[in-house]
Structure 1
Amino acid sequence: MNSELEALEAKIEQVVALVHQLRAENEVLKNQIAAAEVERLHLRQTMTLARERLEGVVDKLPEDA
C-alpha cells in the first residue's frame, strides 16, 4: 500500500512538473507571437511606404503616346 502511494505521489509530481514546463513554454510562445505581430505590422508599414514612394516615382514618369 505504501509503495502504491509513493508511486502515485511520483506520478503526481511528474504531472505537476509537466504542467509547469508547459506553462513556461506557453508563455514563451505567447511572447514570440507578440513579437512576430509587431514585426508583421512594421513590415506592413514599410511595404506601404515603399509602394507609395514607387507610385510617386511612376506618376512622375513621362507617358509614351
Structure 2
Amino acid sequence: MKLTGAAKALVDKGMEAASKNADKIENAIDKTAAAAETKTGGKLTSQIQRAAFAAKRAIPPKK
C-alpha cells in the first residue's frame, strides 16, 4: 500500500510539473516533429502529425 501511495505522489508531482511547463513541452514537441519531418523527407508527415497531436493532448492543462 505504501508503494502505491508513493508512486501516485510521484505521478502527481510529474503531472504538476508538466502542467506548469506546458508551453515549453509543446514547443519541444513541435521541434521534434519538425526534425522528424526533415529526417524522413516528408514521407511520414501524417504519422508524425498524429503523434505530435497525441503528445500535446497528453499534456495536462495549466492550472
TM-score in same-fold range (> 0.5): no
Point out the structure with the larger helix share.
1
**Bigger Rg, structure 1 or 2:** 1
> Which one has more relative contact order, counting CA pairs under 8 Å at least 6 apart?
2
Normalising by structure 2, report the TM-score. 0.36
